[in-house]
Amino acid sequence: MTKRRHTSQFMLGNVGVGSEHPVTVQSMTTTKTRDTEKTLEQIYEIASNGADIVRVTCNEIEAAESLVKICARSPVPVVADIHFQYKLALAAIEAGVQGLRLNPGNIRNEKQIKEVAKECLNADIPIRIGVNAGSLDKDILEKYGDATPEALVESALLETRYLQDVNFNNIKISVKHSNVPSMIDSYRLLAEKVEYPLHLGVTEAGPLPGGLIKSIAGISTLLSEGIGDTIRLSLTTDPIEEAKYGRQLLEYLNLRERKSLDLIACPSCGRAEVDVIQVASEAQEALEKEGFPIQVAVMGCVVNGPGEARSADLGIAAGKGRGHLFIKGQVVKVVKENDMVEALVKEGRLLAKEGIEARLAAADKNAANIAAQDAKELIDSQGDINDFVKKTKSVIEISTNTDIEN
């Protein structure tokens, strides 16, 4: 991972934004904002699944009125999403939102934009300049002929100047595109020109699984280059999924502390004595319900499983009719095949309560010997498909053969 790009900082409610703060996850409600209770219910679900910030549409007077209660009761900062009508931005500020998102493609009047910026300055709330390839300023689109990275960045810079003219600098910018390479190029170009925090996303990414793949491809590429301060996976699905996948992405990149389950599993092979895919699926479902913030491995082979997944906090390796339960690569218990998932859940609870060292100390003293015997029996019956000794000998012979031409 490249060192994170330096940016300016600001607070969005109680969430810090910028390079001195963790990268944060954002999602957006799909309810009618005027329905206060349903919107709040969804906000709580989104927040509990990993979102740090939630965006809510403010597209009518009734929505602005509802924001009064929503902002007062929301567990996370609320950003009002404004299109076309700048007066709704003013109303949202009065309602108590912690931030605004303005689309320069459809609020184009300089005077109106500056009026909103002045009110945000007085209220001490930030603005995200949300440039979108699908709603680009018509004049800029005509100039470039298409929603190119250069066009998106020019739109963002023009809007930035409007805000700077009134001494407003609590700015975050996004230049979203539905084409992943164009999205990446847009953010790279923008990152060279400003020091404001950037909000990453592939717009209109679509439903699962394609939308998730596109979002991760674009966002992960930029995060690995040190670009990006907040993210949203814009998926055509329940926003709870957006929050969950966004959070997991940051955890997998070591950009946020793990709070969710990380289940790894081998792809299975001819040595596997169980249906690894089914066991992994059952384990995922059971362990996610427990909310364990640990890495768990499901391996189909007792010969290689514990060793290959030794970095996992907890795991199970399947043998003939039974499973080897292991912690950090050390087998601590041997259980019946039908009890493997249940054993993972029980041990996960004990790990959460007692810690890894205590659970290793409580290991079944005979477990390691039983595991070694099971592995030997499997090799004897199936043969050593890795054949390390023979292959190592062949490698040495080839590398030391003086008859091979240099």
For residue range 179-208, list pLDDT tens digits in order. Answer: 999 999 999 999 999 999 999 999 999 999
Task: Spell out the domains of the chain, with CATH numbers in brackets.
Answer: 10-252 (3.20.20.20), 262-388 (3.30.413.10)
pLDDT at residue number 396:
65
Average pLDDT of the residues in 31-48 = 95
Worst-scoring range by mean pLDDT, 281-290, 294-303, 366-375, 380-389?
380-389
Q: Tell me which residue has tokens 């996303």.
A: 201
d(CA 380, CA 24): 52
Would you say 301 and 270 are in contact if contact means Cβ atoms under 8 Å apart? no
pLDDT > 70? residue 399: no
Please state whether 328 falls in left (phi above 0), alpha (psi between -120 and 50) or beta. Answer: left
Would you say 200 and 228 are in contact if contact means Cβ atoms under 8 Å apart? yes
d(CA 60, CA 258): 39
Q: Which of 294, 285, 286, 293 is nearest to 315 (CA)?
A: 294
pLDDT tier for residue 270 given thresholds of 50, 70 and 90:
low
| For helices 149-165 and 180-193, angle between their N-to-C axes, nearest 10 degrees | 40
In this prediction, what percent of the chain has a pLDDT beyond 90? 75
Q: Which of 210, 112, 190 is nearest to 200 (CA)?
A: 190
Handedness of CA 255, 258, 260, 264 (dihedral sign): positive
For residue range 355-397, list pLDDT tens digits in order. Answer: 999 999 999 989 888 888 877 877 776 665 555 556 556 666 7
pLDDT > 60? residue 223: yes
Average pLDDT of the residues in 165-177 = 98
Worst-scoring range by mean pLDDT, 221-225, 233-237, 262-266, 336-340?
262-266
pLDDT > 70? residue 130: yes
Going edge to edge, which strands form the sheet with 330-336? Answer: 262-265, 295-299, 314-318, 322-327, 330-336
pLDDT at residue number 400:
67
